[in-house]
Amino acid sequence: MIGVIANAIARPQATVTSFYGALRKGGLISTTGRGRSAQHLSSMDVARILIVMLSADSLHEGEAVTRLVGDLWHVRGDENHPEPLQELQFEVALSRLIVFLADIHHGRATQDDGFLGNLLSGEIGVRVTATHLVAEIIVGSQITEFSSFEELPAVSYPDDWEGLPVRDRLLLRAMMEGMSVTRGVDHTVLKLIAAAMP
């Protein structure tokens, strides 16, 4: 599966393997086997590998940025509306999207609650702006934005960041105005990855 993801996103397999190893070491990958008898990666594992590849600027920050971006939320509705609030976590939404596309590819019955839009539209994409802790799932003309509700660490000068944990540096970077880096994948990439899912 690592090779499929690497080919789909046009990154060297060694790079994707390194990030996969960092996620596995950090407890974010559910598989433990190796070689031909290895367990298949779950849709959540694949979602997290995509998240790290779209989010991390370095292997060192891979685990922390995957946790932060994976934990972005979309909340639909408001407290004054009679309908209950609907919440969806980014890594869960991406995992569900992968399962949906795999089910379509393999001719299985699909389940779609419509939260992200019409998943049969054929125009699906994912964008992550990790520098601002924002992610989007685009389905047709509907954009579902996921953002952070993390409490920011005490503001400090960037020169003092070296001693901070990686997670805190990433949160502070998102708070500051400055360069924005957005990476994304389109429907073609998502379909290639989903087709390799069992």
Mean pLDDT of 137-148: 91
Confidence of residue 110 (pLDDT cuts 50, 70, 90): confident
Q: Is the pLDDT of residue 48 over 60?
A: yes
Q: Is the pLDDT of residue 177 over 70?
A: no
If one counts every other C-beta atom within 10 angstroms of the C-beta of residue 61, the result is 20
- Ordered by start, the domain boundaries in the chain are 2-195
**Picking from 55-59, 140-144, 168-172, 186-190, which range would have the lowest pLDDT averaged per residue?**
168-172
Query: Is 22 within 8 Å of 62 (Cβ atoms)?
Result: yes
Of the two residues 99 and 110, the one the predictor is more confident about is 99
Backbone angles phi, psi at 168, to 5 degrees: -65, -40
pLDDT for the residue numbered 144: 92
Of the two residues 93 and 152, the one the predictor is more confident about is 93
Q: How far apart are CA 4 and CA 16, in angstroms?
A: 10
Query: pLDDT of 121-133, one tens digit each?
Result: 778 999 999 888 8
Of the two residues 30 and 178, the one the predictor is more confident about is 30
Q: How far apart are CA 3 and CA 193, in angstroms?
A: 10
Confidence of residue 151 (pLDDT cuts 50, 70, 90): low
Of the two residues 157 and 42, the one the predictor is more confident about is 42
pLDDT for the residue numbered 4: 95
Query: Is 195 within 8 Å of 3 (Cβ atoms)?
Result: no
Phi-psi region of 13 (alpha: psi -120 to 50; beta: other; left: phi over 0): alpha
